[in-house]
Structure 1
Amino acid sequence: MARRTRSAFLETRTARLKLATRKKPYTALIAPGIFLAYRRNASVGTWSVKAHGWLKRFSLADDHEDANGESVMTYWQALEKAKALARAGEGTSEQPISVAAAIDAYEADLEMRGASKYNASEIRLHLTDALKTKAVALLTERELREWRGGLVKKGLKPSSADRIGRSLKAALALAARHDKRISNASAWKNGLKKLPDSEVARNVILPDQAVAALVSGSYDEDRDFGLLIDVLAETGARESQVFKLTPDDLQDHPIAPRLMMPTSRKGKNRKIEYRPLPISVRLSKALREQAKGKVSHAPLFEKMWNLATTFRPMVERLGLGVGVTPYALRHSSIVRQLLKHVPTRVVAAHHDTSVQMIERNYSRYIIGDPTDALTRATLIDFGSQSRPADDLDPPMRLAS
């Protein structure tokens, strides 16, 4: 059995509390090139690992409370954790990535893929300082679960806390793919599992007149803004998809024009495909005008990061309610097709989503008008069907 490295001045809490308080940590060589560092503070001390030219704190010392093996550690627990963390990165001098750095990398990845950086910036607003500075490789299931639970206690809706948690999971998973030292993916897979009843559909469905008023009002604000809202309303696509459109994606047929709409990068499939979506001749003419002077691969629309903010004043003028955002145009497009009896699979393909998502969020519209008419014919008019008790037909028995 391998001998464990001893340190007379760090092994016990009694010995550590006799050390002078200072900023420079006390160190013990625990393996070639690896040091366990203890910083003696006025209150509780902390354990860090020093290796390959970097220093990273990972736990409190059990100076005043019993160790739990995660946030508070004994000398022996800290020794093993320091060696595991340092040796996982052998062959590299990079410091283990912190949660804050992982979010920065996630934000850069979103920007590179043309997605909204809001998912990253929203995480930062709700992270504690302790979590921001912690190494991703040291995160535990319990602390992530407690962090998200704290968001709900502060007043966030479970659905909002769940959405922020999913964004953090995406950031941590990206960090783990780029750093093989991170082997604790179960911490966020289990600690940030979906909250019960967090997926509550709040889809705002607009009548056709309201959609037309929004499109018309958008053109009154600005032609480019109006055309963008026009495309969102007519195709039901996501903002991220429309911002990827180029002049080449317009199939300008005189009778049946189409847009080759790029799929989003949502879900596990990151490969972009192009699906033909029918558009009106009116919209086709407007897009043809928009494409004039642009090279074939240039974006049709300039990126607008604050689309919802620009959209809000017009919604307020029309008195449509605070819940109406540009995404309501997508919800309305889906429901419009369902009520026109377009097959669910076709609706899902048109809107770059799955049949399961359509059924989960729009099932009330799938069983709409046709079923209502069929089942209404079976209703009994109990007022006209009343008969004397001695004049009732005998009950029938179904064959088993």
Structure 2
Amino acid sequence: MHWRRLDAEAHLGYRKGRQSGVWLVRWRNHHEGASYKQAPIGTANDVNDKTAVGVLTFQQANKTAGDAVARARAEAAAQAAGPAPTVRSAVEAYIEERDARERRRTGRDVRSDAANKLRRYVLGQDKRGNQRAIEAAPLAAVHLHALKEDDMLTWREGLPKGLKVTTKQRLMNDLKAALNASWARLSADRKKLNPTFLTDVKAGFKAERIDDDDETSVARDNQILTDQQVAEILQAALEVDREQEFDGDLYQIVVCLAATGARYAQVRRLRVGDLQAPERRLMVPGSYKGRGGNGGSVPVPVGDDVIETLLPAIVGRPSDATLFERWIHEQAPNGIEWKRSKRGPWKRAELTRPWGAIRERAVMPDVIPYALRHSSIVRGLRKGLPIQHVAKMHNTSVKMIERHYAKYIATALEELARAAVVPLVFRSGGNVVPMGKRA
């Protein structure tokens, strides 16, 4: 045996065999009486053949040994500090936080959207009713101190092919947030995590092994509506409202979505006091997306027609009441008939069913409510509004506007630039006589 020092307490070893040598590594294990631990790392490339496969030169063995020692030390430190946290424990803690936040918002015992997605695609879930059991992803069992970029990329590539691009992106954002939160939660004992943890997480969700850009672009193009198409959707919403006896509740919320370009979740949180009729504007609350900084409200100007449509929703109501409400139906005792019981705010998925009727009536089978937001953003760009202002009104970032609506920005800027074009080249002919130069 021959040993070469890696650091003060680790060595790379070489042992000559009958056919070829073997590389080993040993390191001092302070968690088990300061004894040495030893492990083989590969076959030696004794003849330094650069074309050989499956064997290690001295330089390769040196790096492999260093990586092996780093992993062993991180795992030993994590185990000595207590139960090693896993992706599962990080996600479960994140779900608990998100569920608690959702309960505070709604005042009801409900699950967050993140909880449903992460259980389905990461943690797995037991059989419930007609829903089949789902096995946990292998990623859930990985210890955080051993988590690598490839683990996350492998999980991404294993997601169902038919999963919508936007759903996939939200799912990855939730998982990334859960892992980043675990770093903050374990800040007092970073021995339980690899020092490169945050870098690995960032790389694992940033690397584009799954190319979604083209799909995202096509999806948005299909959802940019003309002013005439928006008017047709609003007319369809009015007709469906009357037929299904919404008493104007459905029509009002769809008008607000079209007029403000806000997300459905934002519109649901509007209060009576947010409708400022004299100023002809709505104070749209910020979304809960991101890490914060979306608090407060953004003033969004609207037309007299929108104010007139929404005025019935505020008559005789306190300013802190939810602006958009609808009738809640309950089944009569010992009967099958459903009757109106009381009014309450719109819930997360309650627009889905009437929206299906709206797009069928408007003969737009693929249009989604979010199309009203896309169209509002593009409308602002085409009118020459500054990108920063469009982003502010729609509670998003300039970066996101530039990424998803780049070609509409280019078209709008070109039209503005064209308005500044003046004739520069002299044209002869006709009855125009050029004046002579001054002497």
TM-score w.r.t. structure 1 length? Answer: 0.63
Is the Cα contact below 8 Å between 2:137 and 2:155 reproduced in 1?
A: no
**What's the RMSD between the two structures over aligned residues?**
3.8
Whole-Å Cα distance in 2 between the matches of residues 194 and 249 of structure 1? Answer: 42
Matched, 1:123 2:130: no
* 1:107 aligned to which of 98, 104, 107: 98
Q: How far has the Cα of 1:226 moved from its partner?
A: 1.8
Matched, 1:316 2:323: no
- Give the unaligned 5+ runs of structure 1: 3-29, 33-73, 379-400
Whole-Å Cα distance in 1 between the matches of residues 264 and 96 of structure 2? Answer: 23
- What amino acid maps onto 1:190 in structure 2? A
Q: How far has the Cα of 1:111 moved from its partner?
A: 1.8
Report the counterpart of residue 333 of structure 1 in structure 2: 376
* 1:251 aligned to which of 276, 281, 286: 276
Report the counterpart of residue 85 of structure 1 in structure 2: 78
Tell me the number of residue pairs that the alignment of Structure 1 and Structure 2 aligns.
304
Whole-Å Cα distance in 1 between the matches of residues 414 and 70 of structure 2? Answer: 65
Is the Cα contact below 8 Å between 1:236 and 1:331 reproduced in 2?
A: yes
Relative to 1, partners in 2 of residues 1:77 and 1:368: Cα closer, same or farther, differing over 3 Å?
A: closer
Moved more, 112-121 or 357-366: 112-121
Is the Cα contact below 8 Å between 1:99 and 1:135 reproduced in 2?
A: no
Q: Deviations over 1:215-253 (max 9, x none)?
A: 232233332222111101001111222122112212120
Please give the residue correspondences for 1:1-400 in structure 2 after superposition, counting only pairs within 5 Å.
Answer: 83-88=76-81, 98-105=89-96, 107-108=98-99, 111=102, 117-127=112-122, 128-136=136-144, 138-151=146-159, 154-156=161-163, 161-180=168-187, 181=189, 183=193, 184-195=197-208, 197-199=211-213, 200-201=216-217, 202-203=219-220, 204-219=223-238, 220-221=240-241, 222=246, 223-253=248-278, 256-301=279-324, 302-306=345-349, 307-322=351-366, 324-368=367-411, 371=414, 374=418
Q: How far has the Cα of 1:312 moved from its partner?
A: 2.6
Whole-Å Cα distance in 1 between the matches of residues 166 and 315 of structure 2? Answer: 43
Whole-Å Cα distance in 2 between the matches of residues 279 and 162 of structure 1? Answer: 32
Q: Deviations over 1:158-200 (max 9, x none)?
A: 7654442222101222333233346333332222224264233
Whole-Å Cα distance in 1 between the matches of residues 384 and 72 of structure 2? Answer: 66
* SS of structure 2 residue aligned to 1:329: helix
- What amino acid maps onto 1:212 in structure 2? A
Relative to 1, partners in 2 of residues 1:193 and 1:88: Cα closer, same or farther, differing over 3 Å?
A: farther
* SS of structure 1 residue aligned to 2:283: strand
- What amino acid maps onto 1:299 in structure 2? T
Relative to 1, partners in 2 of residues 1:309 and 1:80: Cα closer, same or farther, differing over 3 Å?
A: farther
Whole-Å Cα distance in 2 between the matches of residues 353 and 269 of structure 1? Answer: 12
Is the Cα contact below 8 Å between 2:294 and 2:395 reproduced in 1?
A: no
Q: How far has the Cα of 1:326 moved from its partner?
A: 0.8
Q: Deviations over 1:285-339 (max 9, x none)?
A: 44332134543223223142113454233213322132x2111001111112222
Relative to 1, partners in 2 of residues 1:149 and 1:178: Cα closer, same or farther, differing over 3 Å?
A: same
Is the Cα contact below 8 Å between 2:261 and 2:373 reproduced in 1?
A: yes
Is the Cα contact below 8 Å between 1:218 and 1:229 reproduced in 2?
A: yes
Percent identity, aligned pairs only, is: 32
Relative to 1, partners in 2 of residues 1:319 and 1:299: Cα closer, same or farther, differing over 3 Å?
A: same
* SS of structure 1 residue aligned to 2:158: helix
Q: How far has the Cα of 1:151 moved from its partner?
A: 2.0
Is the Cα contact below 8 Å between 1:233 and 1:330 reproduced in 2?
A: yes
- What amino acid maps onto 1:207 in structure 2? T
Is the Cα contact below 8 Å between 2:91 and 2:179 reproduced in 1?
A: no
Moved more, 131-140 or 270-279: 131-140
Relative to 1, partners in 2 of residues 1:330 and 1:273: Cα closer, same or farther, differing over 3 Å?
A: same
Whole-Å Cα distance in 2 between the matches of residues 88 and 287 of structure 1? Answer: 59
